[in-house]
Structure 1
């Protein structure tokens, strides 16, 4: 069952954010369209040159600056339940000056991490004395720990992308191009319940050795491994992301050997997840298996990234990140082995840290799937 919008975007969230702003020593957060604004309000606002901005002061009531022509969309969004004042502005108004006037003198403000430069510079012009910092530093603690409703949204997204992977063996055929297969996968992502496609990677043969390979007109040949990394955005706003590796016909012997290593590495990292372990130790759990088998130099990226309203967000599962896992952390576990010019493999699941262990939201087989 899909999580309710009222659970995903609770009316208590603006107050929680205001408290976080105060703890961070900021005077206000300024959130323009993007994941931060949607997290706080549920409003998936269009990114336009006209300013839409949620202003969350450390003290005082938040308000949403919105172009008058976008007011109906804002009023029909979950933001309408929050009791936040909507301040509609007309074409001849200066909304930046109005934000500055309402806030009064400020020393430090947090700007949405994805705010356009043209907007941040306009805010600097009307608040020249204010230090600008990233809002992400304030919101990270809230956004990293997923609520039960957010975990349900990620589980729904995981089930939807699993349904697509279950179809992939029917689409992968020798003689088809990566682009042809990718087009069919994109259609399946929408059919599975996503609101939009985020990405489709179909890396065949040597293209599978490039983790972010783009779709090409390369023809898939018999005996070639194919890395299929796909994801989309659900109507809830929450993202899916899962990778499986397939082989069209009998796989090469050297590929089969390192695929089994990869499978053990992915399992080791998933089994290591629990509260209190460091993010970098999850990366190390996968990396050690691969390195001991002699493939360490071919694992060329971090083990994972956080996921939620963004496909890539905190926490990052990488060496150097000593932050401890806490219940509610959601992230990918996706080790890979890539042999340049030959082939590659990756296995990726989204994992949520529970009270005692990690819980996968992706459940299709992790065995190598050989298709005719």
Structure 2
């Protein structure tokens, strides 16, 4: 059990008026204990209270001895809910996380294991949001790998190559660079396909002159990266350059104001104003970004409705875009880590327009 991390979570629970909680997210359990397994349909949970931690794990799982103060095991013929209930304080509310499935939560509520139940995901989400020095180093390394992978993606662009063929080759490149997996399915979009921010790569072949959008990220040593770049395959038109330059300016304006005390909403609105002033406001159709860490999208978005100030150690994306239906789409995305007096941009791949020799 990581005592520093568990203390932060317990402090957060106390601020919520809770003294006990049950967490089922396998990555949150790893974050707190260093133990990871994917439970699939089986039950896995970590109980935290002032008296210590209890890990509930099926005996089929890898040995979890030492991961928590106490280990409670069970097999496929046993109901884990009575075991959990026996360890809870029935006179206090129990915090639960968003990963506790209803098929476990409802019987737990029926068992009267606690005086009430409250969603408490924020207690661990908030702790995970602030990256320590080691985590920041891992985030930097994952983004460095992603910068190198973006160069590989650009080198694959040639007339006739399909979106899907490039996307399917990326995992091998990531692994050759030291990463273990994608952090999300890569997006490869040609031409008007990029007007769909979440286009799924298909068998469309590249035609000379198509713009190309790559949105990709790897998972390396548990931590995720995420970056988007948009390329040209012929000399860009004035219209294409106008759209591209607007997105680039929006990205850089937002990154420039990131510092402790500035709100997530202010960061979003700074980028959005650049795009609106250029006349493309209706075509920026999503929030500016999202937090990232053990998963690609973590709670706490960069949006016009998120009024919390950013804090040192938080890592999130800055990804403005303009999406013109049946025409084109441009997105430029970096990750930033908030520092004591500004931010560190983790991606170093150029923002300048690049024309690929396709």
Answer whether TM exceeds 0.5 for this pair: yes
2:40 and 2:20 map into 1 onto residues whose CA distance is: 22
Mapping of 1:1-372 within 5 angstroms? 10-57=2-49, 59-72=50-63, 74-75=64-65, 80=66, 83-127=68-112, 130-197=115-182, 198-235=184-221, 237-372=222-357
In structure 2, the CA distance between the partners of 1:122 and 1:157, relative to structure 1 (3 Å rule), is farther
How far has the Cα of 1:166 moved from its partner?
A: 1.4
Q: May I ask how many residue pairs the two structures share in their alignment? A: 356
How far has the Cα of 1:143 moved from its partner?
A: 1.9
2:206 and 2:2 map into 1 onto residues whose CA distance is: 48
Question: More displaced, 116-125 or 331-340?
Answer: 116-125
Matched position secondary structure for 1:113: coil
Question: More displaced, 20-29 or 121-130?
Answer: 121-130
Question: More displaced, 170-179 or 20-29?
Answer: 20-29
Instruction: Indicate if the aligned counterparts of 1:265 and 1:286 stay in contact, CA closer than 8 A.
Output: yes
Question: More displaced, 25-34 or 293-302?
Answer: 25-34
| 1:132-164 CA-partner distances (Å, limit 9, x unpaired) | 322322223312221111111111111111110
| 1:288-309 CA-partner distances (Å, limit 9, x unpaired) | 1111111111111111111111
2:188 and 2:179 map into 1 onto residues whose CA distance is: 19
Matched position secondary structure for 2:110: helix
How far has the Cα of 1:68 moved from its partner?
A: 1.0
Question: More displaced, 256-265 or 186-195?
Answer: 186-195
How far has the Cα of 1:274 moved from its partner?
A: 0.7
| 1:194-238 CA-partner distances (Å, limit 9, x unpaired) | 221122000111110111111111111111111100012222x21
Report what 1:4 is aligned to: none
How far has the Cα of 1:276 moved from its partner?
A: 1.0
| 1:150-201 CA-partner distances (Å, limit 9, x unpaired) | 1111111111111100112211112111101111223222322222112200
1:89 and 1:229 map into 2 onto residues whose CA distance is: 43
- Segments of structure 1 that go 5 or more residues without pairing to the other structure are 1-8
1:221 and 1:83 map into 2 onto residues whose CA distance is: 56
Instruction: Indicate if the aligned counterparts of 2:139 and 2:223 stay in contact, CA closer than 8 A.
Output: yes
Instruction: Indicate if the aligned counterparts of 2:89 and 2:113 stay in contact, CA closer than 8 A.
Output: no
2:181 and 2:256 map into 1 onto residues whose CA distance is: 32
Matched position secondary structure for 1:12: helix
Matched position secondary structure for 1:176: coil
Question: More displaced, 175-184 or 131-140?
Answer: 131-140
- Alignment RMSD (CA, Å): 1.8
2:310 and 2:273 map into 1 onto residues whose CA distance is: 19
1:16 and 1:27 map into 2 onto residues whose CA distance is: 13
1:180 and 1:368 map into 2 onto residues whose CA distance is: 24
Instruction: Indicate if the aligned counterparts of 2:33 and 2:68 stay in contact, CA closer than 8 A.
Output: no
In structure 2, the CA distance between the partners of 1:190 and 1:135, relative to structure 1 (3 Å rule), is farther
How far has the Cα of 1:129 moved from its partner?
A: 5.6
1:93 and 1:226 map into 2 onto residues whose CA distance is: 54
Instruction: Indicate if the aligned counterparts of 1:250 and 1:370 stay in contact, CA closer than 8 A.
Output: yes
Instruction: Indicate if the aligned counterparts of 2:311 and 2:338 stay in contact, CA closer than 8 A.
Output: yes
1:263 and 1:316 map into 2 onto residues whose CA distance is: 20
How far has the Cα of 1:106 moved from its partner?
A: 4.1
Matched position secondary structure for 1:140: helix
